[in-house]
Structure 1
Amino acid sequence: MTQAGALRFEALQAATAHLEPPFAAVDLDAFDVNAADLTRRAGDKPIRLASKSVRSRALIRRALERESFQGILAFTLAEALWLAEEHEDVVIGYPTADVASLRLLAADERLASRVTLMIDSTEHLDFVDAAVGPARPPIRICIDLDAALELAGGRVHLGPRRSPVHSPRQAVQLARAVVARVGFELVGLMAYEGQIAGLGDNQPGLPVKRGVLRAMQRMSADDLKQRRAAIVDAVEAVAPLEFVNGGGTGSLELTSAEEAVTELTAGSGLYAPGLFDHYRAFHPYPSAFFVLSVVRRPSPEIATVLGGGWVASGPPGNDRLPTIAWPRGLRYSPTEAAGEVQTPVSGAAAADLVIGDRVWFRHAKAGELCERVDVLHLVQGDRVVEAVPTYRGEGKYFL
């Protein structure tokens, strides 16, 4: 950590000294710098904000005040309907089986004009028809494409298991099915390249492993660039598209260079959680933290904080644990790690910690922090300027 980074933590510590842990804080100065850097990396492409990575309406608004951020990518239909009361362009990143929310959407022309459903098969169209019937406003549809790299004739699949729509032929077949159905309007395509955007290419560990990852990402990027362009050309022969969405925080430069892509998606880069510490192309400033109190000193070399097991989703591993951000030089116990009720920490700084001292952590993933707290304390400069609710703080539990 640089001297400037240490001074910033001292300022954050002083600004929040009156708060009782556990609490969460967002450094607005870092948040704004990260937003500006996402804009720079996106080039001339607008950024659709991934709401699941923020999960606070106040900070969603703050990002969308920037001209470069346009529209929202929500993660459930219920969330999308809630956000669409305020925002005019909300795409749902995943298919839905929420019948109650589909009925709300179909009963409101204003919401139906603002919300776009995601599908990857005609089964999704069948589900909507069965849920709401044909007497409804047109339902806006985006087709989710499989962005994974397939090798060995499809027997090797490198990337998230999302859509079954991989080829131009499959995309055209589904596009024609959408256009042929009364009550649906095809408006967009999306392809999220998680094997590039979501995997840092400078992970600690063996150089050989990093080399293999980078080679896979280059191969995947080349494949997707050609395949995505071919799919867009083929689908636009069936229906005009309002948008073609791609990318993520980890791949903005790469995806923005594709002519076929009209907009990008990002959100995690605003908070810069632990999983985004290992990319070569960019280095965001950590802005979102949670803070816990030291409550025990089981030995002169160990301090124990209350709680701490705020573990991220995904494949189990040390990279899903919170990152210990401050004081510098602390590390987890290999036998306890981040625990539900207590987290012992050791290292050079542990000897100086006393009961009541605070330890600052960063969640491994961005928006998941907000599922643990009701309020985010916003720090600007050397003071807390506002306390804003998370989704949870507004009584919303979408997933």
Structure 2
Amino acid sequence: MNQAIEIKKNIFWIGVNDRRTHLFENYWPLPKGVAYNSYVIIDEKVAVIDTIERSRMDDYIESLEATLNGRKVDYLIINHMEPDHSGAIKALLCHYPDLTLVGNSKTFPMLENFYGVHTNLLEVKEGSCLNLGEQQLNFYMVPMLHWPETMVTYLPKEQLLFSGDVFGAFGTLDGGIFDDQVDLEYLEEEISRYYSNIVGKYGMPAQTALKKLGGLAIRMICATHGPIWRSHIPEIIAKYDKWSKYETEEGVVIAFSSMYGHTEKMADLIGRFLAEKGIKKIRIHDTSKTHPSYMINDIFRYKGVILGSCSYNGGIFPTMETLLSELENMGIKNHYLAFFTNKTWAGGALPRFTQFADKMKWEIVAPHADASGSPKSQDVEDCRNIAYAMAEKLKA
């Protein structure tokens, strides 16, 4: 059984670690697992804030019952309806049939569609309050972070923000649950990969939410994934502000698709020429090997993007198509762009790359390089031109 951890007087973390699931949302790799965080406030009334994914439901219910020691749950606050946080709702209703489900007007249609639940509902709106006794809950709407019904719950007496998916992270909580108890350096990529792939499409809603919540005194951020923030609150807020403004560092992501190694040679040439011009942060990814989530994470970080593909059935290679589609869906802004292509007889990737550039509206810094088979002397010069032009843009 998981042990509940008291994070403030009569406020408990009752989350679980998941080291068995390979893919989050059946798509994003979880090499370091993931934590599902739920919380319970014990006052004159008892409120649970979000639940967990259903695969660990038995442990969760046991932990909750042990924490409550015979008390019943009066309210379940639903900040977000995604099943990794709402998965235990029906189990809670079986154990506590009289509990009231608290959400907003966009929560309840999803609640009925997912679980057939449509009774004992309490609708809250922007700025609504719910009195538990000594504690009071305030609610703020943060739509499209990252679903339309998302909201956050604020506990003014303790200055706690229950933030849902906002400020979350991939990775299990190995030992500690607070940011100052875990190895943040070890989790750094999982924090940024979580933002870039789960929240990253919604930069403008994130900026709106940061401004709205900026007036709150916050001593602890209790997200539904990753560590509870209490010692590095300014740092994680600053990262969200930077990421949601699409601010980047000097560096280049080179992503390539290669069947026989010729396009990969071009990627390596471009990387070496970038290094000649003083670019140190160069990340080269093979799209057939690297999951898009890692490439997207690097693209959120670095300003320069250089994409290369061999020809495949007269068009672009399938794994490059996947990356392009992901980037188009994300709508990432403010990057410099260049392309390189390779073919054996005819056709090629350029029409799809051109379509991508038109859609993304990133600045193209150099003409593309187009080789036939192993790069020849002119192809090498074209790769050099791409690298030098990109470096010049970044250094400017």
TM-score of the pair, normalised by structure 2: 0.29
- Greater RCO (Cα-Cα under 8 Å, separation 6 or more): 1
Higher alpha-carbon Rg: 2
TM-score of the pair, normalised by structure 1: 0.29
